[in-house]
Amino acid sequence: MSQFIRIISCFLLLVILVSCASQKAISEQVKLERRRTNDLQLVLDSIAVKKPDFFYTKISTSYNDTNRNVSFKTSLRMVKDSAMNLLITYAKIPIVNSIITKDSLTIVNKKDRCLIRKDLGYIKESFGIDFNYKNLEELFLGLPLDYDINQKYFQIHDPYNYILSTHRKQKIKRFEKKSKEDLVIKYFINNEVNHLKGMEISSPSDSTVIVVDYKSRELIDGFNLPKEVSIHIVTPRNSILIDLNYEKSEINQRQPLILVIPEGYEKCNEN
């Protein structure tokens, strides 16, 4: 695959579920009144289950890491709990088209005239990222990642943030010292306690973290959708910053998911 296509693949795959070593939490320096943990969890309970049946948007994407800087456009079409179609263009020219379902990934590389067909295990094999289709939907819709309404969550008391975590603060510190395998997710709730402000997903075992900051949102037909999103990924070898700007978002208007594989396309060289 060309270097550009590798960047796009990282956007589709890496942008989902990795994590960072020590990153300052998403914060607004306004001292907040204390809230009960149960009240905060009820907010996430209500957010986590609210998905549109159909979603469409155009996303202006900026990708920066230690070696490169690239910008491109993405058209996203999504059918709830089923499939999504991402068409990526560079300088208004289609470069990558893809369909992602609950168990498969198909990427058509128009630049190199080849394709990739894999199950979702390919992502973990290639990048060490274990995620499912539901996680992708959650990320793009601004929902709490990997959230389970039947799980117990713990409040991390902070005078400037409302934070719920998958683990107690003391346990997180032990993970950091002993490099445990557990994935730690912190959910940041906005000051008005009505939507998700951001997330920090950390993997102490490999000193990696992703911080997702939903910088602004747009209310469309009762759905509080992302408008501007910043994703910062820090690994021992790289620092990646991805900025997403949503435009022309539409809710519950069915659109076809189209993936055409031209004749003569063969398997991409993945070396």
Give residue-wise pLDDT tens across range 65-100. 888 888 999 999 999 999 999 999 988 888 899 999
**Hey, what domains does the chain have and what are their CATH numbers?**
3-10+19-259 (2.50.20.10)
What is this structure's pTM?
A: 0.82
Closest by alpha carbon to 106, among 129, 84, 90?
84
State which H helix or E strand residue 43 sits in: helix 37-48
Tell me the pLDDT tens digit for each residue of 7-19: 444 555 544 433 3
Q: Quick one: pLDDT at residue 264?
A: 87
Q: Quick one: pLDDT at residue 156?
A: 92
Answer with the residue of higher pLDDT: 208 or 26: 208
pLDDT at 204 over 80: no
Q: Quick one: pLDDT at residue 208?
A: 78
Distance of CA 172 to the CA centre of its chain: 22
Task: Determine contact, residues 231/62, Cβ cutoff 8 Å.
Answer: no
pLDDT at 28 over 80: no
pLDDT at 25 over 80: no
Mean pLDDT estimate for the chain: 83
192 Cβ neighbours under 8 A, 6+ residues apart? none
How far is the C-alpha of 181 from the C-alpha of 204, rounded, in Å?
7
Query: Mean of the pLDDT values across residues 22-30?
Result: 55
Of the listed ranges 146-155, 175-184, 196-205, the one predicted with least confidence: 175-184
Q: Quick one: pLDDT at residue 162?
A: 95
The letter for the amino acid at 95 is I
Rounded percentage of the chain residues whose pLDDT exceeds 70? 80
How far is the C-alpha of 213 from the C-alpha of 136, rounded, in Å?
16
Dihedral of alpha carbons 240, 29, 49, 76, sign: negative
C-alpha dist (Å) from residue 147 to 62, 75, 178, 206 = 27, 26, 25, 22
pLDDT at 174 over 80: no
Q: Quick one: pLDDT at residue 1?
A: 45
SS3 13: helix
Task: Please calculate the CA angle 49-54-55 and round it to the nearest 5 degrees.
Answer: 90
Both tokens of 270, joined, read 């993945």
Among all chains, which residue has been given the structure tokens 């499912």?
132
